[in-house]
Amino acid sequence: MTASFSSLVGLLFLLLVFLPTDSATAQVPAPSPTASPGGITSRAAPTSPTPFEKGKDRGAVDLRTFVTTVHIHGLPYAEAHAYGPQAVPELVAMLKDPSLEPYWTNIVATLGCIEDASAVQPLMDFMKRQRGEISADAFRAVLSVLPGIGQIAYRGDPKALKIAIDVNVKMSSLGPEKVFARKNQP
């Protein structure tokens, strides 16, 4: 055991002695066919153009494309916010389109990111429309409504703030046994 330990220590000593100590030399990337002119490589897939990319050759992404795109790391707030209040009517119309149901969560989140008070009532109406058995996509969208309204309330809208407070009071008055209770299964 001592012999193998000694040879391991010797190997580590040699590596420390012969490895370059200059950090600039040690971190030079190997040339790659996908490397940029600066030598920086990226393993990430190219991203779709967004409305936030100014000064690039690509134009702004239309709203429908933005909300129907899968955003692996979550909906980008700054890009959604950049659409501004003028996008609210189109987004509200999309919430009424059953063919866009798989994207309703993105649409609701985009309305929240825009932070315009005119979206509060349509978001509440959307949530109230969902009755009976609903799909998983509709359920996720309904769960996104209150955080969206909370984002609008954070911007200072009194109606959104009242809704957020009322929901919180109602949920807390029920007590955890009713909020988290499960029906007994046979």
Q: Of the candidates 29, 20, 99, which has an alpha carbon nearest to the alpha carbon of residue 67?
A: 99
pTM exceeding the 0.85 threshold for the entire prediction: no
What is the reported pLDDT for 167?
A: 85
**pLDDT above 70 coverage of the chain, percent:** 62
Least confident of 29-33, 82-86, 107-111, 123-127: 29-33
CB 117 within 8 A of CB 111: no
Does residue 64 register a pLDDT over 90? yes
**Separation of alpha carbons 39 and 44, rounded Å:** 15
pLDDT in tens, 168-186: 888 777 777 766 666 555 5
In which band, very low, low, confident or very high, does the pLDDT at 12 lie, cut at 50, 70 and 90? low
Q: Tokens 């700054």 identify what position?
A: 78
**Separation of alpha carbons 163 and 121, rounded Å:** 10
pLDDT in tens, 135-145: 999 999 999 99
